[in-house]
Chains A and B, each alone.
Chain A
Amino acid sequence: MSAAPAAPPAASASIPVPGGPIFELKSLASRIVTLCWVEVCKVRHDRSELYTRAIQPALWLLIYGETFTRIHAIPTPHGIPYLAYLAPGIIGQSALFVAIFYGIQIIWERDAGVLTKLMVTPTPRSALITGKAFAAGLRSVIQAAVVVVLAAILGVSLTDNPLKLIATAFIVVLGSAFFSCLSMTIAGLALRRDRLMGIGQAITMPLFFSSSALYPVKVMPGWLQVLTKFNPLSYEVDALRGLLIGTPADMTLDVIVLVCVTVAGIGAAAALLPRLAKG
């Protein structure tokens, strides 16, 4: 194998020849911004999804939440009204639903030939996945904002501290980034849209019910309490509750767990990306 050229020609005079860790970080940041920008364009062009996706959380809060508040079936810590206890859980749930089907978009992009073209831009696979994960996070934040507004209309008093709201958005982005990577990983294994739909549907409800989104861990049977510890959604909801309604939360642990699983998810999805592009 011959040595690399001494002076590799730049693609064009205006584009810097890449290199170095600072360039890589700047490039990663720029890819995340770009793919989030694309997501915003898509949401702007088609707002119907925003509304249809608001229906489910609205039903959960309105029917399930109101009913269970009335029958006092679920003991909440510190006697917090059940609706307030439920709201962060439903935010986590609606973000989960957005993210877990995000892999469908990447399969659609594969079928439309868009993915192939993204893969010949100077964007490493991991940067492509990270950008998409953040784009999914952004979409989830928009969806979460809808739920916050809904909750406010129902008279739930969530925090109005702007710093805590920003931290809430950060947690939602992180949680959705993980679940979208899970979805893109499954996409890389399933390769087909219908199969991904099936798997997605099969795992969302178990993820939802085995988390602390609807009820405190304490009221769960022992075996479920164990499962809950392995469910990233529990950590997301724990953090959201701490921020939005001030329940005691182990923020450090929550953030560490979410960051770790997200990094692992990016790695797995990026590794499977060539398989997806080929299939």
Chain B
Amino acid sequence: MTVLAPDGGTAAPPGPMAAVSCEQITYTFGTHTAVDHVDLRIEPGETFGLLGPNGAGKTTTIRMLVTLLKPVDGRITVFGVNTATQPMLVRRMIGYVPQLLSADGTLTGWENVQLFARLFDVPRKQRAGRVDGALAAMGLTDAAHRRAATYSGGMIRRLELAQALVNAPRLLVLDEPTVGLDPIARTDVWDYITKLRDEFGMTVLMTTHYMDEADAYCDQLALMHLGHIRATGTPADLKAALGEHVTLDEVFRHYTGGTLDESGEKGGIRNVRRTRSTARRLG
């Protein structure tokens, strides 16, 4: 991958530049603090998992990182570029797949990817090749000229990955990439994500509330609960710290005092509704 430029930020810790650095970031909805002074550091090339139950603040953190929300406090840099002062530059480095399925069903798969190639200023000469390449990498060549409305949930996720990919991003941000998918489609989507990471050496930031996925696919984890980061480390370290034969589920319970299935907030209902509407869109 590209050689990393030296870090220009003054507040970043010494050593090579981080892919993502969040310092004390905070976001509030009205009086409710969804993300509370969170620090995160993601190294280039790493697959980083942000774990937590529904309502933990994962999506809000992601939305700040991709410049959709402005943190009310704190500072985020992506490969040394500040999201608050240079959002356009940050957007050029990120491929983002939001939590809810988001392809335009009235367009074909090819048109969906072509749209993002154009919006990311992929030069005209390279466009066709990049679009076809991204679709091929996601196994969508045969379905490329069908309308996305006819796609299955797993195919729409792969189409979204193709959209995120066409820009050759340095950082891939996936918000619950497999939520609402059936187990076969989940494995399928993960096969494609793994392939991407191995082929292009991309840095991947993903959120999930599936512990098995975090355990299998992530190099580093951060456990999030009620807007706070409770623990960070590799899956092995987190488990080893609590003794032998400990599962990640137990680790999580240890740090949060709860299981992943209970949220205990009023936000829970909204999230359930969202997950359901995702499921409905999947058909």
Residue positions of A touching B, CB distance < 8 A: 1-18, 27, 30-31, 33-34, 37-38, 41-42, 45-46, 109, 112-114, 116-124, 277
**Contact residues of A: prevailing secondary structure:** loop
CB neighbours (8 Å) of B103 from chain A are 114
Contact indicator per residue, chain B 16-34, by CB within 8 Å of chain A (1) or not (0):
0000000000000000000
B107→A42 contact, CB < 8 A: yes
Find chain A residues with CB under 8 A from B123 CB.
14-15
17 residue pairs A–B, Cβ–Cβ below 8 Å: A1-B75, A2-B75, A5-B8, A5-B9, A9-B93, A11-B167, A11-B168, A12-B168, A14-B168, A15-B92, A41-B111, A45-B107, A113-B100, A113-B101, A122-B88, A122-B121, A124-B88
B126 contacts which chain A residues (CB < 8 A)?
14
| CB closest residue in chain A, given B101 | A113
Chain B residues lying within 8 Å of A4, measured Cβ to Cβ, are: 8, 81-82, 85-86
Q: With the chains together, A50 CA to B201 CA distance in Å?
A: 47
Q: Point out the residues of chain A lying under 8 angstroms from B108, CB to CB.
A: 41, 45
> Quick one: closest A residue to B78, CB to CB?
A9
* In the complex, B79 has a CB within 8 A of chain A: yes
A123 to B260, CA, bound (A): 37
* Residue from A2, A7, A42, A123 in contact with B5 in the complex, judged by beta carbons closer than 8 Å: A7
Interface of B (DSSP majority class):
loop
Of B112-120, B184-192, B244-252, the one touching chain A: B112-120
**1/0 contact trace for B171-214 toward A, CB 8 Å?**
00000000000000000000000000000000000000000000
Which A residues lie within 8 Å of B105 (CB)? 112
Q: Judge whether A120 and B91 touch: CB under 8 Å.
A: yes
Whether the Cβ atoms of A3 and B8 lie closer than 8 Å is yes
- Residues of A near B7 (CB, < 8 A) are 5
Tell me whether B81 and A34 are in contact (CB under 8 A).
Answer: no
Smallest Cβ-Cβ distance to A121: which chain B residue: B119
Contact B167 A2 (CB under 8 A): no
Q: Which of B133-162 contact A (CB under 8 A)?
A: 147
Q: Is B225 an interface residue (CB 8 A)?
A: no
**Residue B169 at the chain A interface, CB threshold 8 Å:** yes
Check B107–A3 contact: CB distance below 8 A.
no
Check if B122 sits within 8 Å of A2, measured CB to CB: no
Q: How far is the CA of A31 from the CA of B118 in the complex (A)?
A: 8
| Complex CA distance for A161 and B211, rounded to whole angstroms | 69
Chain A residues, CB < 8 A from B170: 9, 11-12
| Bound form: Cα–Cα A11–B92 in Å | 5
Chain B residues 202-233 with CB under 8 Å of chain A are: none
**Chain A residues within 8 Å of B163, by CB:** 117
| Contact between chains at A18 and B98 (CB < 8 Å) | no
CB distance from B179 to the nearest CB of A (A): 13
Closest residue of A by beta carbon distance from B106: A42
- Within the complex, the shortest CB–CB distance from B133 to chain A, in Å, comes to 13
Residues of chain A contacted by B11 (CB below 8 angstroms): 2
B67:A120 contact, CB within 8 angstroms: yes
B128 to chain A, nearest CB (A): 14
Complex: A17 Cα to B5 Cα, angstroms: 14
Contact B119 A11 (CB under 8 A): no
Taken together as a complex, chains A and B put the C-alpha atoms of A121 and B102 apart, in Å, by 14
Q: Determine the distance from Cα of A27 to Cα of B103 in the docked complex, in whole angstroms.
A: 23
Q: Say whether B94 faces chain A, with CB atoms less than 8 Å apart.
A: yes
Taken together as a complex, chains A and B put the C-alpha atoms of A17 and B111 apart, in Å, by 25
Q: Which of A41, A46, A117, A119 has the most CB of B within 10 A?
A: A117
A11–B91 Cα distance when bound, in Å, is 9
B148 CB to closest chain A CB, in angstroms? 10
B80 contacts A by Cβ under 8 Å: yes
Q: Are A8 and B107 in contact (CB under 8 A)?
A: no
Find chain A residues with CB under 8 A from B111 CB: 38, 41
- A sample of 7 more A-B contacts (CB under 8 A), given A7-B8, A122-B88, is A2-B82, A12-B2, A15-B121, A34-B118, A38-B111, A120-B68, A277-B68
